[in-house]
Amino acid sequence: MPELAKRYLFDPIDADLSEKMVFISGPRQVGKTTLALSLLGAKDHRHPAYLSWDDVRARPRIRSGEIPPGEPRVILDEIHKYARWRGLVKGLYDTREPGQSFMVTGSARLDVYRRGGDSLHGRYHPYRLHPLSLTEAGAGTDALEALLRFGGFPEPFLKGTERHWRRWQRERLDRIVRDDVRVL
């Protein structure tokens, strides 16, 4: 499996986390959670500062504002699926420990919600993560050929097989049509 370079947004987000919250949005499976975990210094989602709305065990803790103490960075993943997420995130940010920062990650729908009435004005910097660039994929002819063949989404690119790429494409298209288009 090829080794990917550091994602292009890593350094700007890392710098901005000392000032404000950071919202990371982008298409499904582009690597938002993986990027946030790398900024946290975590190997996987079991890190105590990773809180996902998709984890039913974490939802009560998130709703009650239970943030792991002593964690300098906290990830709130897919929090936009909670109807009152903006007020919750505002309260968490306004009452955070000194030096604590938040990364809010979500699908492309986070952009749509972000444009609505926003009680978070001045509290965050928005970022949109795109598929892999040639630099991130690893410079050279092999990386370029792999990007042209399998695209820039990390999973099919890293798998590097035609079978996996076709299945991934079918499932992604189905998910976009069934979920994203219907919801929007």
The whole-number pLDDT of residue 118 equals 57
DSSP 107: -
Listing DSSP states for 59-99 in one string gives: HHHHHTT-PPTT-SEEEEETGGGSTTHHHHHHHHHHTPPTT
Please provide the distance, in angstroms rounded to a whole number, between the alpha carbons at the two ends of the chain.
36
The third-level CATH classification (topology) of the domain covering 1-130 is: Rossmann fold (3.40.50)
Q: Which of 36, 40, 4, 42 is nearest to 154 (CA)?
A: 4
From residue 80, how far is each of 20, 52, 54, 99, 127 by CA, in Å?
A: 18, 10, 11, 24, 15
User: Taking the model in full, what pTM does it have?
Assistant: 0.85
pLDDT tens sequence for the chain (184 residues) = 456 678 999 999 999 999 999 999 998 889 999 999 999 988 888 999 999 999 999 999 999 999 998 899 999 999 988 888 888 999 999 998 888 999 999 875 665 555 555 577 788 999 999 999 888 888 778 889 999 999 899 999 988 889 989 998 888 888 777 776 666 6
In the chain, where does the domain assigned CATH 3.40.50.300 lie? 1-130
Cβ(18)–Cβ(101) under 8 Å? yes
pLDDT at residue 176, rounded to an integer: 75
Task: For residue 109, give the 3-state DSSP assignment.
Answer: helix
Tokens of 90: 């505002």
Q: What is the pLDDT of residue 180?
A: 63
What whole-number distance in Å separates Cα of residue 177 and Cα of residue 184? 10
